[in-house]
Amino acid sequence: MKAFIRKQGFLIDFTLSSLMRRKGKNIGLLIVYGLIVFLLASVMLFSHALRKEAGLVLQGAPEIVLQRMVAGRHALIPADYLDAIESIRGVAGTEGRLWGYFYDPAVGANYTVMVTPDYELSGNEVVIGAGISRIRGVAEGDFFSLRSDKGKTYVFKVKSLLDSESELVSTDLVLISEKAFRVLTGIPEGRLTDIILKVRNPREVQKVAEKLVARLPDTRPILREEILRTYDSIFAWRQGIVFVLLLGALLAFVIFAWDKASGLSAEEKREIGILKAVGWETGDVLRMKFWEGAIISFSAFTLGYLAAYLHVFYSSAVLFEPVLKGWSVLYPQFDLVPFVDGLQLATLFFFTVFPYTVATIIPIWQASITDPDAIMR
Amino acid sequence: MLFNPPVIALIMVSVVVTLMLLAAAGLAVQILMYWDIGSGSERQLILERRTYLVSTLLTWVFASELISLMLFIYNAESMSGQFVGAMCATGVLNVNAWGWPALFLKLIIFFSGAVWLAINHLDNQGFDFPLVKVKYLLLLIILPLVMVEAFVQLQYFLGLKPNLITSCCGSLFSSEAEGVVGNVSSLLPSTALLLFYGAGLLMMLSGTWFLWRKSGGWVFSSLSVGAFIASLAGMISYVALYVYEHPHHHCPFCVLKPGHDYAGYALYLPLFAATALALATGAVSRWKHVPSLSAVVESNAPRLAWLSMMLYALFFSVATFFVLRSSLVMAPFW
């Protein structure tokens, strides 16, 4: 065992010095290889972090959202539905919500306007999200106007800003009092936008949803689990699409690696010939070449992955943002939580090291079986 | 189909691996037909050189199969959020009929790969390559397995539709379930306990016998297969309960979750490595009578057996540790 390790140690030592002798060629390979790892790893880290983020955000969401449907379209729900729901066993709490979207022609963005019992807002006060504050240039204490459905403009005082920690969900949010909301939108008393339900036991959510549909046939329950599942699939799918697009680049890389490995320079050939002449066996040359590949792969993988990590978590993935995140006028700014796992690493391995290795096996073998006399003659 | 990067990677690997094996099989057929170590003809020289290529190809094939086995399980685990009813890998494997066969095929390929690599390593140490025909015949047997695996896995991934409702491990691994799994789950813990440690003990004894008398390698191998199956059954019917601290939760995959301290890795990694090494012991010790190999077998086989027994011992100690550490108390109710 000791002899084996010593032998590998000497082989690595030899390989390193041999690599250093051909700096230009190997640095070129390293850059291309590292770039491929960087691209794939960036996509992977970024979409993974987004999935994670979506999961964290929805953690606090209600288990069920109940909407009323009229002719297949979302409609206002009567407040007396609340009484019918509360008697369902397993429902821990219900709340009617009033919210809607407001298009602001001045900046070309949609706001989400929502009534909240928190903040104790008076009729002419609002609380706004960080995105709106940025785009409209209003701060705490400033005034902020919204147009009602009758075309009349109402001015509100900004009571405070929502903290930026929750920006992913609150960036376009305007919190407002119920009275002001009803005046702005014209939604009559006794009507709500939708109803949220809290269900304490996650195994009962499905049953509660079934009962809701049976009792109130004109409603549609939306489960939190379903939203989570959809997010999970969508981000995984977007990531897959980008990967397939990058497969072209990967193929180019494989051809490049194959070419590099098979186009041995005269000097390299002479080197192998001399090694064999001084007593190296074919297996030894193969082992040396294996270490060469391992060293290059390891360096490229580490460099590429580190660069991708910096790119995603310290520069917010400037290169892939539009594809993976989607876009809107009022897009939240948020920092992603770094997250690395074995699945990512194994997948990345198969997308980079595996093709590289496969592409170089045959050229390496061809190099290793050359006869010393054929080269040195 | 779900367009996940791990899924794309797994399909890509299975296709490339099949192609590599097909190429190797072409060479293998030539070797089986024309190999003659005594001849100095040009064809023989070419064949001898090609054996290096085949060895390199296959080492990589089996290394990738090992990683793809882990990726397959890990991916099933991580996709459990995308299917209604799935809570861990069990649910995702249950989504269609191809999931479990794909996993079992991957396991079989992993173990045959270990045996092949052991024979190959042994053969390379004999100056006259005495096992060359054996290993290439074995390669031709493994090839269809890998092709079937690639096909089954592709069918499995193509059939993964997010709107399918699957069942979670609670319904598959329960005493009310039908079939083998149900029987295993409903084993009385005392029976399972006896089976679990009994098979382990038998295997250890045969290993000791092998180390002492240098014979009976294949007995050790066969008993280790028995111990492997008994260990998996024991995991489901006995150890799992203690890891989850729940008298009815039998799932063999939930142990891989972070919520259970990744206990599964500490259990499965030694168990799989130990079984692979034990199979390799049997495969290697069989060739003691070949003159150019007897010295190598003499030194290699006991080393493999020794390593395998150490890993089995590790597995059983870790399992026992989880049982003892657990706050679940079942003994009075058996």
Q: What pLDDT is stored for residue A274 in this prediction? A: 86
Residues of B in contact with A236 (CB under 8 A): 2-5, 79, 82
Cα–Cα dist A3/A116, whole Å: 74
B160-191 per-position pLDDT tens digit: 877 666 777 766 666 666 666 666 676 777 78
Within 8 A of B4 by CB-CB distance, chain A residues are: 236-237, 239-240
The identity of residue A212, as a single letter, is L
CB contact under 8 A, B60 and A357: yes
Residues 6+ apart with CB under 8 A from B8: A240, A243, A244
Sequence ranges of the domains in chain A: 7-58+229-376, 64-222
Per-residue model confidence as pLDDT tens digits over A73-107: 889 999 988 888 888 888 888 889 999 988 888 88
Distance from CA of B271 to the nearest CA of A (A): 20
What is the tens place of the pLDDT at every residue in A127-137? 988 888 888 88
Contact across the interface for A244 and B74, Cβ inside 8 Å: no
Those residues with Cβ within 8 angstroms of residue A119's Cβ, 6 or more apart along the chain or in another chain: A127, A159, A160, A175
Query: Does the CA dihedral A27-A263-A362-A40 come out positive or negative?
Result: positive
A239 closest CA partner among A31, A32, A52, A30: A52
B330 C-beta neighbours (distance < 10 Å), count: 14
Q: Say what the ipTM of the complex is.
A: 0.81
SS3 for A119-177, per residue? HHCCCCEEEECHHHHHHHCCCCCCEEEEECCCCCEEEEEEEEECCHHHHHHHCCEEEEC
Residue A364 CA to residue B57 CA, distance in Å, equals 11
Q: Which residues of B touch A369 (CB under 8 A)?
A: 49, 52
Q: What tens digit of pLDDT does each residue of A24-70 get?
A: 888 988 999 999 999 889 888 888 887 777 777 777 788 899 999 99
- What are the DSSP E strand ranges found in B121-251? none
- In the predicted model, what is the mean pLDDT of residues A270-289? 85
The 3 state secondary structure assigned to A178-232 is HHHHHHHHCCCCCEECEEEEEECCHHHHHHHHHHHHHHCCCEEEEEHHHHHHHHH
A340: contact with B, CB 8 A cutoff: no
Which residue in B99, B8, B133, B259 sits closest to A348, CA to CA? Answer: B8
Res A323: pLDDT: 65
B12 neighbourhood in chain A, CB within 8 Å: 350-351
**N-terminal to C-terminal alpha carbon distance within chain A:** 38
pLDDT at position B107 over 90: yes
- For chain B, domain boundaries: 1-165, 168-325
* Distance in angstroms (rounded) separating the CA atoms of residues A129 and A304: 37
The band of A145, judged by pLDDT with boundaries at 50, 70 and 90, is confident
Q: Band of the pLDDT at B196, cuts 50, 70, 90?
A: confident
pLDDT tier at B308, thresholds 50, 70, 90 = very high
Contact yes or no for B71 and A343 at CB 8 A: yes
Q: How far is A250 from chain B (nearest CA, A)?
A: 12
Query: Which residue among A241, A347, A364 places its CB closest to the CB of B9?
Result: A347
Contact at CB, A343 and B16, closer than 8 angstroms: no
On the question of pLDDT at A257 being above 70, the answer is yes
Report A:259-298 residues touching B (Cβ under 8 A): 282-283, 286
Residue A127: partners with Cβ closer than 8 Å, 6 or more residues away: A116, A119, A121, A158, A159, A160, A161, A162, A174, A175
**Cα distance between residue A293 and residue A367, in whole Å:** 14
- Which residue is closest to B13 within chain A, CA to CA? A350
Given CA atoms B248, B252, B258, B264 in this order, what sign does their dihedral have?
positive
8 Å CB contact between A285 and B53: no
DSSP B220-287: HHHHHHHHHHHHHHHIIIIIHHHHHT-TT---SSGGGSGGGTTHHHHHHHHHHHHHHHHHHHHHHHTT
**Total CB pairs under 8 A between chain A and B:** 89
Interface of A with B in 102-161 (CB under 8 A): none
Q: How far is CA B291 from the centre of its chain?
A: 31
| Bridge partners, residue B84, by sequence | B165
**Among B57, B78, B303, the residue to mutate for chain A (most A Cβ within 10 A):** B78
